């Protein structure tokens, strides 16, 4: 049996009882280590589960699936994913490989940012399409997420923006030379995300484009959701460009039309000067 | 402290370790009993937690919040919600009342249908706005969810349809007479949901309207997600009108544009005759 176990969002104790039982019963346990992170590392999880964990980086999951699935028809193997197992494409791929190899699988769900973001006070059924922001490079500065946010806003919907994570990335130089030297992990902050959005808005304003959102858009920044030191901050986009929410992971929500009950929830964590913008939309 | 604890989607063991510790430490534990259900009842949960549970129906949560929050500034109170605590509006209300009364609160997240539906193979970031279907009455047959589904489809997005739950409802007759007699609980099935959609499509076709979806739309029906006997069925809308997925809870997804990897996942649980429709969209 292949168990796909969601670890939730905070620390070792955010696993479900069912998930913990599965982990403890498995002969091999992999920890997916490139699409998200908890506030604790591999060692803390190993101690809590009483199990050795095998780190599964992108290479292993995408090219070494046979290794993960080896003997899983006769023994139990667990594949641990921060959040819920079906946040990222690559895990569908692992499931399909299991099924095609005649290996049964079972999913043990948990919270992911996709639903836990509701704790900021915005109603989940008022969210439109989720977008991803990637670290811009000199030559690659995609803007499609901005258009999706504007489309959601036009429809009155909020947008959850998932922010880029770079774990075990090679520099282009090292990749060209075939050197397996990896850059330190990078996690996009809310500031960086806000800065990207503001750059897009400025450029489009200069080009005379009609703007679907401006620097005054009410946004909600969340950091380390589900952890004891989680942070939630409601502010305008320009305010978020200079706020400090501490360590990873960060996510950003750009609001659409706000319901009075949503406004009241947002006020709890609002920058005082953002309240006027909240008030303006409070109808 | 007020703990809002998500119970996840299956049975008693889908609570997180952190959630279970909170429940066991609280002096009063309420079980929200009107927006969703697990596959096990109150007694099974009480036995598993080793705690007596107080059923919280809509009246108690919406009008008796003071009772729930009583002494929560000096003692710990838990409020248990199937899925994640922030699926339903009313729990924002409870949080706001706590905050206004100076009672600290903590959320312990868990899976909800909003993210767990990803296990059917459709990517969560390809979903648009979520819709709710309510039981039609003779005089009230809202259709706005149909328009939202079509809007999502036009944008290439999938739609999660949450299906109505009626727990502890009074008949209009009993309500008029002030009799506290309640109807048996009702849970909308996928068949009923498909039937409503087909009725809307037929009516609009007769009126010559351009259709955003037809009876051939590829849909995914899910039942008892996260439970040992969960069911996932990919079929056309008309096929779903006559399928039997067993007991509650049911949800329905109307697909938008399908990615090849999504198609491959959907094939695993597809009605053979629905495969041609999947194939048609496989590009």
* Pairwise CA distance, residues A234 & A121, whole Å: 10
Nearest by Cα to B126 from B280, B259, B279: B259
| ipTM of the complex model | 0.94
For A:258-277, CB contacts with B below 8 A are 261-262, 264-265, 268
- Is B256 part of the contact surface with chain A (CB cutoff 8 Å)? no
pLDDT of residue B280: 55
List of chain B residues whose C-beta atoms are within 8 Å of the C-beta of residue A121: 92
Nearest by Cα to A161 from A251, A86, A88, A236: A251
Render pLDDT for A72-99 as a digit per residue (tens, 0 to 9). Answer: 999 999 999 999 999 766 788 899 999 9
Q: Which residue numbers in chain A have pLDDT < 70?
A: 88-89, 279-283
Q: Cβ neighbours of residue B48 under 8 Å, at least 6 residues apart?
A: B12, B13
Render pLDDT for B211-267 as a digit per residue (tens, 0 to 9). Answer: 999 999 999 999 999 999 999 999 999 999 999 999 999 999 999 999 999 999 999
User: Nearest C-alpha of chain B: how many angstroms from A265?
Assistant: 7
pTM: 0.94
Render pLDDT for B268-283 as a digit per residue (tens, 0 to 9). Answer: 989 888 888 876 554 4
List of chain A residues whose C-beta atoms are within 8 Å of the C-beta of residue B18: 10, 13-14
pLDDT at B185 over 80: yes
| SS3 sequence of A38-57 | CCCCHHHHHHHHCCCCEEEC
Render pLDDT for B18-57 as a digit per residue (tens, 0 to 9). Answer: 999 999 999 999 999 888 888 888 999 999 999 999 999 8
**Does B61 or A24 have the greater pLDDT score?**
A24
pLDDT of residue B83: 95
pLDDT of residue A279: 67
Cβ separation A110–B111 shorter than 8 A: yes
- Is B148 part of the contact surface with chain A (CB cutoff 8 Å)? no
């Amino acid at each position: 049996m292949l168990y796909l176990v969601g670890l939730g969002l905070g620390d070792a104790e955010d696993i479900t009882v069912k998930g913990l039982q599965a982990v403890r019963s498995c002969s091999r346990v992999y920890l997916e280590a490139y699409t998200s992170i908890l506030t604790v590392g591999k060692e803390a999880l190993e101690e809590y589960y009483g199990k050795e964990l095998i780190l599964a980086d992108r290479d292993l999951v995408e090219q070494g699936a046979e290794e993960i699935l080896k003997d899983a028809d006769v023994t139990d193997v667990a594949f641990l994913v921060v959040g819920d197992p079906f946040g990222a494409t690559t895990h569908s791929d692992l499931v399909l490989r299991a099924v095609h190899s005649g290996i049964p699988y079972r999913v043990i769900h948990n919270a992911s940012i996709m639903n836990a973001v509701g704790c900021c006070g915005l109603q989940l059924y008022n969210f439109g399409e989720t977008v991803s922001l990637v670290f811009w490079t000199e030559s690659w500065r995609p803007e499609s997420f901005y258009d999706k946010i504007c489309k959601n806003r036009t429809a009155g919907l909020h947008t959850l923006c998932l922010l880029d994570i770079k774990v075990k990335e090679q520099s282009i130089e090292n990749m060209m030379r075939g050197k397996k030297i990896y850059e330190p992990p990078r996690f996009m902050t809310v500031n960086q995300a806000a800065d990207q959005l503001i750059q897009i808005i400025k450029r489009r304003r200069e080009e005379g484009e009609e703007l679907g959102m401006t620097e005054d858009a009410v946004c909600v920044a969340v950091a380390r959701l589900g952890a004891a030191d989680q942070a939630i901050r409601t502010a305008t986009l320009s305010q978020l460009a200079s706020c400090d929410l501490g360590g990873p992971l960060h996510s950003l929500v750009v609001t659409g039309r706000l319901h009075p009950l949503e406004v009241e929830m947002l006020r709890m964590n609002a920058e005082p000067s953002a309240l006027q913008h909240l008030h303006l939309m409070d109808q």
